[in-house]
Amino acid sequence: MKTTATEVVIALQFADPLPHLNAIQIASITDGFAEFPRFAELPVSGPMPYSLEQLDGTEPINGFVASFPRIALGSEDGDRTLTFQADRLTYSWVRTAELLDEDDYPGFDELVKELQPVIERFATLVQETANVTVSYKVAELTYVNVIPTRTPDNEPIRLSTLFAFLAPVPNSPGVNGYFHAWNEKLGVAEGVLRLQVNGPVLYAPEKPGASFTLAGTFLISDAQQLPQELLAVRQRIGETYGRVLATGSAR
């Protein structure tokens, strides 16, 4: 089965949450990212568990006070988004081309290359605006892949067929929705790999599909080695993608 990457997200959790930022301070930070002219305020994202114990509730997750909304800055083309909230900075790519059109994914190496100056500029702006030094403790890399639920000829595809590798009831006419998730130790770093399949979902307005999401969350061992650690996690995600679907790998 072939899936298509529709979103790749790199999230970095701060070692210490940011203090309250007022509207003027937020504007000073967002003005420093002129290449992201689209502005939105979004609900705050939840915690970033990085161990199986945190996921099953036997180890507490340090909370934070959402002292200001999640701020989202989008590129003019809509394919890059930068967000920040009290506990994290996130950089992401979103597919803007149709699933069956030519792929517009720039590649993981390019995204990591773009991320580094964003990290440095954000730290400088926060230091100048709020007199706070930014450092990072946890990173998360997420791949969202979509499987169309219709053929190129617009014929419907059963969810039980799409998810046959997870053994739902074969060809059952009653499977109108499907959800399956599991967690694994990350292995390549101190962290956890979360996997989820879900369908149907809308990957674009009036575009139904099914999704396969893989997210690796891990403790950053060395800030200077973050690109290499992200690459190792990306490779782990790719290997798992190939093992589960028995075809290809996350790119």
Q: What are 179-205's pLDDT values in tens digits?
A: 889 999 999 999 999 999 888 777 766
**Which secondary structure element, helix H or strand E, spans residue 210, and what is its range?**
strand 207-219
Cα radius of gyration rounded to whole Å, the chain? 19
Q: Is 145's pLDDT higher than 80?
A: yes
- Per-residue pLDDT band for 148 (boundaries 50, 70, 90) equals confident
- Per-residue pLDDT band for 173 (boundaries 50, 70, 90) equals low
Q: Say which range, 110-114, 157-161, 209-213, 231-235, has the weakest mean pLDDT.
A: 157-161
Q: Is 171's pLDDT higher than 90?
A: no
| In contact, 221 and 229? CB cutoff 8 Å | yes
- Per-residue pLDDT band for 251 (boundaries 50, 70, 90) equals very low
Amino acid present at 3: T
Query: What number is the average pLDDT over the span 217-243?
Result: 94
Q: Which long-range CB contacts under 8 A does 245-251 form with residues at least 24 apart?
A: 245/1, 245/3, 245/165, 245/212, 246/165, 247/1, 247/2, 248/2, 248/3, 250/5, 250/143, 250/145, 250/214, 251/5, 251/105, 251/107, 251/108
- Per-residue pLDDT band for 60 (boundaries 50, 70, 90) equals confident
- Per-residue pLDDT band for 7 (boundaries 50, 70, 90) equals very high
Report the side by side order of strands in the sheet with 178-185: 38-42, 70-74, 80-85, 88-94, 4-14, 136-148, 207-219, 191-204, 178-185
Three-class SS state of 45: coil
pLDDT at position 114: 96
| In contact, 159 and 175? CB cutoff 8 Å | yes
CB-based contacts of 58, cutoff 8 Å, min separation 6 = none
- What is the pLDDT of the chain when averaged over all its residues? 87
